[in-house]
A and B are shown apart, each in its own frame.
Chain A
Amino acid sequence: MAEVKLLGTWPSPFYYRVVWVLKLKGIAYEFIEEDLNNKGPLLLQHNPVHKKIPVLIHSGKSICESMIILEYIQEIWPQNSLLPADPYDRAIARFWIKFAEDKVNPLAFAGFYGEEQKKAIRDSLEMLETTEEHALRDKTFFGGDKIDLVDIAFGQLSQWLQMVEDVTNVKLLDASKFPRLQRWINNFKQVPIIKENLPDYQEMFAYFKALR
């Protein structure tokens, strides 16, 4: 019986966050695919409050909510550390992780139409501006020279955002307006673990187009 199990669903960006971190730290795990239209007993047992993926099950104990799972993984397996050691730097990293959690949700954007979509566009542009000017600034990655949990938290901007733009025909991240973010997306997708673990673009596009 595997010590680490991950309950997840393709192509959820929240599930992918956990995959990336487990692989970056070289942790072996068993993947259990959940059918969200027919939630299994394991999911209901281990996340009774929200009934959502991802859920990490470690030696029988469950941890829910992707960023909470990532802090847990970071604490149990500190190799290849993904958070700064200094308390102040760590507080800044957590600030941006929370910002990403609260404001970055490209998949939700796909569900907006008309007036709601106009507001969502304004909110998205504001989020991108703040991210570019205050969070990323002139760094290669949010984590500096290499990726850390902040990059992982913003990971949805890498592929899911473009897919939503293509499905909705709304351009949000204009490379000329957000050159640093565009560079970050290119760099992030080239990190070997990320590159090898992204959902297939065409499959994801077809899936969301059908949903819409």
Chain B
Amino acid sequence: MAKSHAEVKVLGTWASPFVMRVRIALNIKSVAYEFLQERLWEGKSELLLKSNPVHRKVPVLIHGDDTICESLIIVQYIDEVWPSAPILPSDPHERATARFWAAYLDDKWFPSLRAIGMAEGEDARKAAIGQVEEGLMLLEEAFGKCSQGQAFFGKDQIGYLDITFGCFLGWLRVTEKMSGIKLLNEINTPALLKWANRFCNDAAVKDVMPETEKLAEFAKMLRGRVRATPTS
């Protein structure tokens, strides 16, 4: 396919878990790409505004003359254009299950993780932590069913659901550090705890997973910026 040889660029930021999904997918496929870093605190670039006029968000994949937006849509696109080393399961029911948990992660679980950092007062914080822990127990069970005794949700190699969930591990660890609570632990989520280490050490992930320290500093800076902004 002539198309698969066209130039690939990724518009994104180093801290965004959604951008990470795209970079991991390209790494799995051994596709070379240029990473164009947005400096979102300085305002959005011309290229970003032109490439994603509807949402003005990263990540954006630029493949030849085409632009594709929305992290999971980009991952599916990458899987279809470069069919070697498949990312989505081949079985339609397993694919539906992977999509189901991906939607759960984006619509329910990650917002509940972010809610911990934004909670005002001890009661709100405890409630937010409770929600995240409940979600992790569901995901622990899902891991058992999807992995079928193997290393990843995608069985013997990382797949769609590993990428969707794994990209949040950096922010999960920052939240654990800031709250002093081990959200992934030996008692409630033993399988996920081991999976998290395997995921972060995978060749496709290692170089794009930000260090927890760096992310924590970034989170502090963001918080300071939010607090300094006068509310209207």
A: residues with CB less than 8 A from B are 49, 58, 61, 63-65, 68-69, 71-72, 75-76, 87-88, 90-92, 94-95, 98-99, 130, 134
Q: A90 touching B96 by the CB < 8 A rule? A: no
Instruction: Kindly state the separation between the CA atoms of A130 and B92 in the bound complex, as whole angstroms.
Output: 32
Q: B54 touching A134 by the CB < 8 A rule? A: yes
Instruction: Kindly state the separation between the CA atoms of A92 and B77 in the bound complex, as whole angstroms.
Output: 10
Instruction: Kindly state the separation between the CA atoms of A99 and B81 in the bound complex, as whole angstroms.
Output: 23
Q: Which of A68, A92, A94 contacts B96 (CB 8 A)?
A: A68
Q: B68 touching A88 by the CB < 8 A rule? A: yes
Contact residues of B: prevailing secondary structure: helix
Which B-chain residue is minimally distant from A88 (CB atoms)? B66
Q: B68 touching A71 by the CB < 8 A rule? A: no
Query: Contacts A63-B93, A90-B80: A99 and B138 contacting too (C-beta < 8 A)?
Result: no
11 A-B residue contacts at CB 8 Å?
A58-B93, A63-B93, A72-B96, A75-B95, A90-B77, A90-B80, A92-B68, A94-B73, A95-B69, A98-B73, A134-B54
The 4 nearest A-B residue pairs measured at CB:
A87-B80, A91-B77, A75-B92, A72-B96
Which B-chain residue is minimally distant from A58 (CB atoms)? B93
Instruction: Kindly state the separation between the CA atoms of A88 and B80 in the bound complex, as whole angstroms.
Output: 9
Shortest Cβ distance from residue B89 to the other chain A in the assembled complex, whole angstroms: 11
CB-contacts of B69-100 with A (<8 A): 69-70, 73-74, 76-77, 80-81, 92-93, 95-96, 99-100
Any A CB within 8 A of the CB of B218: no
